[in-house]
């Protein structure tokens, strides 16, 4: 039974209101259970599978198996656990799934660590993942740990079933502030990490209060002292937060969390403790956008992005944004930040936020010392030939300046010619947005032009909810 703490900051009426919107329904569990049964039967009755790998097991894993899925997630994760070596699973996995599902269920393939099938039926999805049947979680890698994670969380929730609601609240909170998801696109907190933190701290409010005081490097020992935190710090030197995996203490469950996402959670937690609001939770956020766009430069790309792993496309987009931001800043533009987007099918975009997509019409250049005769002469001739200026500083080095007639769009175009684009890109164009007003893009692209998270504008920015 859940006991409310004396220092509660989440009003009971708000808690009830949020849970009413995010708890999965009996109908949802029933329909997802039916989907799982259809997939399991197709695999268990598959003759090619029995002939190729006689020993195997079909297992429901993930949030649906734990009872911690949000109401808007009509998805199940199904693992086909094969008693075979990892190399054999990777070699045979795709062909076996195709043989078992063909003609029985509609499916398509995705590619991550290894191929897996997604069965799509009546608005629901089942990800079917072949994996070796591991006995010890320390022998598992990547997604192979998922069955162990599922069993761990289920066992803890059987002891404390009231924590299910707190997990749902925390997942909705993370999703509402934009930090939910371990994929490259987000770089945030996975569903499993959210569950582990709630189990460790004992509730939603306790976890938010703890997060409000985090300061990198954060260490949260969820293993009762079994983890070697010093070893983990050496193994994950770039991780701003380390949360040992309860089923494998040598692994950091929070390895996907970027410094940006950690900082966003800390900031949101502090604001929530001061001003709890329904807007923090994804299911209660206003539908109407509340944004104030910044000037800048948009790179619009088109291509066949569905032919490539989503993490590969998102990762390349992020790196492109970083490099364009640095390039424009180095060219003297008042660049502030960047954002990026893809629909994972045909479109991708990067936006560089700027104070203004223009710069001073003079560009300074540092030259060599005068006693470096050849370089000094070339520098002087070049600057004066450009109609510029040359002078000698107190340190004896030449300095110069020249008129600058370039444009932000032109400089971005030149930078793009030297940078790797997301895989699948066929063409691109560069558009300058000179003011804070609309730039003529669809709403989802205009959203890139505001670096302020929507929840923050609604909670503190005076927007009407």
Instruction: Check whether 171 is labelled as a binding-site residue.
Output: yes
Instruction: Check whether 180 is labelled as a binding-site residue.
Output: yes
The per-residue pLDDT for range 165-213, each reduced to its tens digit, is: 999 999 999 999 999 999 999 999 999 999 999 999 999 999 999 999 9
The per-residue pLDDT for range 52-109, each reduced to its tens digit, is: 887 899 999 999 999 999 999 999 999 999 988 888 888 888 999 999 999 999 999 9
Q: What is the mean pLDDT of residues 365-372?
A: 93
DSSP 151-199: HHHHHHHHH-TTHHHHHHHHHHHHHHTT-B--STTT--B-HHHHHHHHH
The per-residue pLDDT for range 446-462, each reduced to its tens digit, is: 999 999 999 998 888 76
Asked if pLDDT for residue 319 goes beyond 50, the answer is yes
What average pLDDT is seen over the chain? 93
Q: pLDDT band for position 286 (50/70/90)?
A: confident
Pair of tokens at residue 216 = 């990198």
Asked if pLDDT for residue 347 goes beyond 50, the answer is yes
pTM metric for this prediction? 0.90
Domain boundaries 160-284, CATH class: mainly alpha
Instruction: Check whether 63 is labelled as a binding-site residue.
Output: yes
Q: Note the CATH architecture for domain 23-152.
A: 2-Layer Sandwich (3.30)
Pair of tokens at residue 14 = 């708000």
Q: Are 4 and 12 in contact (CB under 8 A)?
A: yes
Instruction: Check whether 149 is labelled as a binding-site residue.
Output: yes
Instruction: Check whether 226 is labelled as a binding-site residue.
Output: no
Q: pLDDT band for position 3 (50/70/90)?
A: very low
Provide the residue ranges of all domains of the chain, joining segments of one domain with +: 23-152, 160-284, 296-358+407-456, 362-403
Number of DSSP helices (H) and strands (E) in the chain, helices first: 16, 16
Q: What is the mean pLDDT of residues 328-341?
A: 95
Instruction: Check whether 77 is labelled as a binding-site residue.
Output: yes
The per-residue pLDDT for range 41-55, each reduced to its tens digit, is: 999 999 998 888 878
Domain 296-358+407-456 has CATH 3.30.70.590: yes
């Amino acid at each position: 039974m859940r006991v409310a703490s004396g220092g509660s900051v989440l009003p009971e009426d708000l808690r009830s209101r949020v849970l009413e919107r995010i708890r999965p329904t009996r109908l949802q569990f029933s329909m997802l259970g039916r989907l799982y049964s259809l997939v399991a039967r197709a695999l268990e009755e598959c003759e090619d599978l029995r002939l190729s790998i006689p020993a195997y097991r079909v297992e429901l894993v993930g949030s649906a198996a734990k009872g911690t899925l949000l109401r808007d997630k009509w998805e199940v994760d199904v693992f086909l656990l094969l008693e075979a070596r990892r190399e054999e699973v990777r070699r045979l996995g795709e062909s076996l799934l195709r043989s078992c599902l063909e003609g029985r269920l509609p499916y398509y393939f995705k590619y991550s660590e290894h191929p897996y099938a997604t069965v799509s039926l009546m608005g629901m999805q089942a990800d079917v993942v072949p994996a070796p049947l591991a006995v010890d979680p320390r022998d598992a890698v990547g997604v192979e740990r998922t069955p162990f994670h599922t069993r761990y969380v289920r066992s803890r929730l059987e002891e404390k079933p009231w924590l299910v609601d707190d997990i749902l609240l925390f997942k909705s909170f993370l999703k509402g502030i934009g930090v939910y998801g371990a994929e490259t696109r987000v770089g945030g907190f996975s569903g499993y990490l959210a569950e582990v933190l709630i189990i460790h701290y004992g509730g939603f409010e306790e976890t938010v209060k703890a997060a409000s005081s985090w300061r990198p490097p954060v260490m949260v020992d969820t293993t009762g002292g079994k983890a070697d935190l010093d070893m983990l710090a050496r193994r994950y030197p770039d991780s701003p937060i380390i949360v040992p995996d309860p089923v494998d203490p040598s692994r950091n469950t929070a390895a996907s969390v970027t410094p940006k996402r950690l900082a966003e959670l800390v900031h949101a937690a502090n604001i929530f403790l001061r001003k709890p609001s329904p807007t923090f939770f994804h299911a209660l956020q206003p539908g109407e956008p509340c944004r104030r766009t910044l000037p800048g430069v948009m790179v619009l790309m088109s291509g066949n992005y569905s032919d490539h792993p989503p993490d590969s496309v998102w990762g390349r987009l992020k790196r492109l944004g970083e490099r364009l931001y640095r390039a424009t800043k180095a060219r003297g533009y008042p660049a502030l930040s960047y954002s990026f987007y893809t629909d994972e099918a045909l479109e991708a975009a990067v936006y560089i936020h700027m104070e203004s997509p223009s710069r001073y019409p003079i560009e300074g250049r540092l030259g060599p010392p005068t006693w470096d005769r050849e370089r000094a002469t070339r520098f002087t001739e070049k600057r004066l030939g450009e109609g510029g200026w040359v002078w000698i500083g107190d340190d004896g080095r030449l300095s110069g300046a020249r008129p600058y007639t370039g444009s932000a769009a032109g400089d971005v175009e030149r930078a793009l010619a030297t940078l790797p684009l997301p895989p699948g890109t066929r063409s691109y164009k560069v558009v300058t947005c000179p003011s804070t007003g609309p730039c003529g893009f669809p709403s989802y692209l205009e959203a890139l032009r505001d670096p302020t998270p929507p929840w923050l504008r609604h909670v503190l920015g005076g927007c009407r909810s």
